[in-house]
């Protein structure tokens, strides 16, 4: 069974987002071993300079590295400049990850400032949900839903239409 780790910067503050994550977590348990790791978000001033943002992303990236360096992992960075896949294409990719002998899928969701260049380079795939911008906390729910949809596609379930 594939281990699926969501490595996210920051905590979910809104109860409705936490409840949605919990629901998809329960559903995913039939297909994989899901886990969410929340990493601390760097504090920034109201209007940070580019250098302050770069330093914050670097610090957040350092806390992500141990997860991405483990053996047998396939790492995906969620970023707006990444590739966009249909649900079917993403399901195909996840199916291939398991077939290729990877035991763990890590999905990295950065802070509202994004993910450091070093982390993106360490990942096997940079993935974008859309050209539109979404709150990074909502991204967690959206990724969990898409993972559930992917596993339903791979297993011939009726959830995907």
Phi, psi (degrees; rounded to nearest 5) at 37: -115, 120
Region 39-44 average pLDDT: 92
Give the CATH number of the domain where residue 78 resides.
Answer: 3.40.1280.10
Residue 82 lies in a domain: yes
| Predicted local confidence at residue 85, as pLDDT | 96
Q: In angstroms, what CA-CA distances link 94 with 6, 39, 102, 107, 112?
A: 14, 24, 10, 12, 26
pLDDT at 79: 92
CB 57 within 8 A of CB 113: yes
In a domain, 39, yes or no: yes
pTM over 0.85: yes
pLDDT digits (tens, 9 = 90+) for 108-157: 999 988 999 999 999 999 999 998 888 878 999 999 999 999 999 999 98
Q: Where residue 24 falls among pLDDT bands split at 50, 70, 90?
A: very high
Checking if the pLDDT of 160 tops 70, the result is no
Asked if 58 contacts 114 with a C-beta cutoff of 8 angstroms, the reply is no
Residue 27 belongs to domain spanning: 3-154
Q: For the chain, how many structural domains are there in total?
A: 1
Residue 161 domain-assigned (yes or no): no
């Amino acid at each position: 069974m594939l281990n699926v780790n969501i490595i996210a910067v920051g905590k979910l503050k809104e109860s409705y987002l936490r409840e949605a994550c919990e629901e998809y977590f329960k559903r995913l348990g039939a297909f994989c071993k899901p886990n969410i790791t929340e990493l601390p978000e760097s504090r920034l001033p109201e209007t940070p300079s580019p250098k302050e943002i770069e330093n914050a992303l670097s610090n957040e990236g350092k806390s992500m590295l141990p997860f991405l360096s483990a053996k047998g992992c396939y790492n995906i960075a969620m970023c707006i400049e990444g590739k966009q896949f249909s649900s079917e294409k993403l399901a195909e990719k996840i199916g291939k990850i398991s077939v290729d002998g990877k035991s763990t899928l890590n999905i990295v969701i950065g802070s509202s400032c994004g993910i450091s260049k070093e982390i993106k380079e360490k990942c096997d795939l940079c993935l974008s949900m859309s050209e539109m911008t979404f709150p990074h906390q909502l991204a967690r729910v959206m990724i969990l839903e898409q993972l559930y949809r992917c596993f339903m596609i791979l297993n011939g379930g009726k959830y995907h239409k």
